[in-house]
Amino acid sequence: MAERFAPGDRVVVRLDDPRGHTRAPRYVRGRHGVVVEVHGEHSLPDAVVARGDATPEPVYAVRFDAVELWGAGGHGVTVNLWQSYLQPDEVTA
């Protein structure tokens, strides 16, 4: 699957609340971050569990400022997220 994002791109994590398995941590859903690295292609766990679909897709390292996640803090948190979890951040792009 083609890479939709590149390092430096601003993204927002989809605010989904799926009924089944997902590996989009709840604490970053709906939060704005920046793609810092591309970490290869891997099967999307949601699709593997839901319908046995192991199609690989790009996974990114996305960095969030602590303030964006928690409203406070000077640290950064970098989370690995599958492409399907991400949308372009068009508001601040």
Tokens 């591309």 correspond to 38
Report the nearest approach of other proteins to the CB of residue 62 (Å): 10
Distance in angstroms (rounded) separating the CA atoms of residues 76 and 31: 13
Nearest CA to 50 out of 88, 90, 27, 84 is that of 84
Identified binder of other proteins from the candidate list 39, 54, 87, 88, rule CB under 8 A: 39
Residue closer to other proteins, measured from CB, 72 or 91: 72
Query: Does 53 contact other proteins by CB under 8 A?
Result: no
* 84/19 Cα distance (integer angstroms): 16
Q: Does 82 bind other proteins (CB under 8 A)?
A: yes
Site membership for other proteins, residue 35 (CB under 8 A): no
**For other proteins, which is the closer residue by CB, 11 or 77?**
77
Strands annotated E in the chain: 10-13, 32-43, 56-65, 76-82, 86-88
- Which residues form the interface with other proteins (CB under 8 A)? 23, 25, 27, 37, 39-40, 42, 59, 61, 66, 69-70, 73-82
